[in-house]
Amino acid sequence: MNKIYSNRPLIVGLMRLEDVTASQLEETIKGCLDLGINYFDIADIYSHKHSEELLGEVLTSNPSLREKMFIQTKCGIVKGDGIYTHYDLSYEHILSATQDSLRRMHLDYVDALLLHRPDIFMNAVKIDEAFVELKKEGLVNHFGVSNMDVSQIEYLKTEASLPLEADQLQLGLGQCSLISQTFNVNNPDEYGLNNDNIFFYLKEHEMALQCWSPYQFGFFKGSIFTVPDMRNTQAVLAKMADKYHSTPCGIATAFLSNLGHNIQVITGSLNLNHIKESLDGTKIKLEKADWYELFGSTGHLLP
C-alpha cells in the first residue's frame, strides 16, 4: 500500500491565512508544486473556517491545481464565539464536518482526513462507521489522527476497518518531550508521566509522524530561532548551518527528518524562500554526533 508519507517529507500547513489574499495563496501553492511539494495540511477551524474557504476560492479560479495537490484536512474541534468549546468525534459530527469542509473548499473529495484532538466520549465503532461511509462515498481516501497517544490509537484500531496512517504531533527542537522520554525511561521527572513511547509505536506500525509547529518554542511561545530561552540551540544551529552549507531552518528540519522515513515536517510558512529552506533540510544527512549535540542544546537530559 502506498503510504501517505511516501516521498512527501515536507507538508505545507495552511493554518494562518487571515491576512492572505487568494492570489497570494495561489502563488504559494504554484511555487510549492514547482519545488516538488504537493502535500497541503488544513483544518476546518483554521482562521475561523476562512482557511478552507480561501483555498476553495483558489481551486475554483484554477481547478487544474487540484489533481496536483494532496489535500489533508482535520475535524473534531468545535469552536464558538472565537473560542474552542469542546471536542466532538461522534459519527454525526465527523460526517457533517467533512461535508462542510468539502463545500468550503469546493472539492469532491479530500486525500486525507485526521481526527484533530481526542474526544473523551469517542466511540471506536461509530468512528469506524463514519470512516467507512466517507471512504465508500469517495469523499476521503486516507485516514489518521492528530495529538493522540498509543492507548487512544490502539482503542480506535480495535474496531478499525481502514488503516490509520498518520498521527500529527508537536515535535521540534523547541518541543522535544516526545523524544526525551525515549532516553529517560528511568527518569520520569524529565518528561512527565506519559511514557507510551509514541515515537517507536508509529515507526513500528508504519504510521506517519507529522511534526506540527516544528520551529516553535513550547506551545506557541515564539520562534526557536529568536527566543532568548534557546540561545544555546541557536548557537549550535548556526554552527551546523555553516558545516552543512545550510541555514538554521534547514538544520532544524534535518534534526527531524533524520529520525526516519515516516517523518513529515509541517512548515507553517507561506514564504517560498523559507519553504525551500525547510525542503532542503529534509535532504541533509546529519552525522549522529551532530544530531545528539542539537538535542543536548535544548536542555533536555541525555543521561
What are the residue boundaries of the structural domains of the chain, listed by start?
1-169, 171-303
> Average pLDDT, whole number, for the chain?
94
155, 115 in Cβ contact below 8 A? no
- Domain 1-169 class, CATH top level: alpha beta
What CATH number matches the domain at 171-303, 3.10.580.10, 3.10.20.30, 3.20.20.100, 3.40.1310.30? Answer: 3.20.20.100
- Predicted pLDDT of residue 195: 54
> What distance in Å separates the CA atoms of residue 297 and residue 239, rounded to the nearest whole number?
12
Q: Is the pLDDT of residue 190 over 80?
A: no
Phi/psi for 218 (5° steps) reads 60, -150
State the average pLDDT over residues 105-132: 98
Phi/psi for 239 (5° steps) reads -65, -45
Q: How confident is the model at residue 186 (pLDDT cuts 50, 70, 90)?
A: confident
* Tens digits of residue pLDDT in 199-252: 999 999 999 999 999 999 988 899 999 999 999 999 999 999 999 999 999 999
* Tens digits of residue pLDDT in 284-295: 999 999 999 999
Q: Is the pLDDT of residue 127 over 50?
A: yes
Residue 42's nearest CA partner among 55, 32, 31, 29 is 55
- Predicted pLDDT of residue 1: 42
Which residues make beta-bridge pairs with 111?
none
* Tens digits of residue pLDDT in 154-166: 999 999 999 999 9
Q: Which ranges of the chain does DSSP label H, i.e. alpha helix?
A: 22-35, 50-61, 91-105, 124-136, 150-157, 177-183, 198-204, 231-243, 248-257, 272-281, 288-297
- Predicted pLDDT of residue 184: 81
- 227 half-sphere exposure, CB direction, 13 A CA radius: 16
Whole-structure pTM value: 0.95
* Tens digits of residue pLDDT in 39-60: 999 999 998 899 999 999 999 9
Residues of the chain with pLDDT > 70, as a percent, come to 95
242-275: buried (b, 16+ CB within 10 Å) or exposed (e) per residue?
eebebbbbbbbbbbbbbbeebbbbbbbbbebeeb
Three-class SS of residue 110? strand
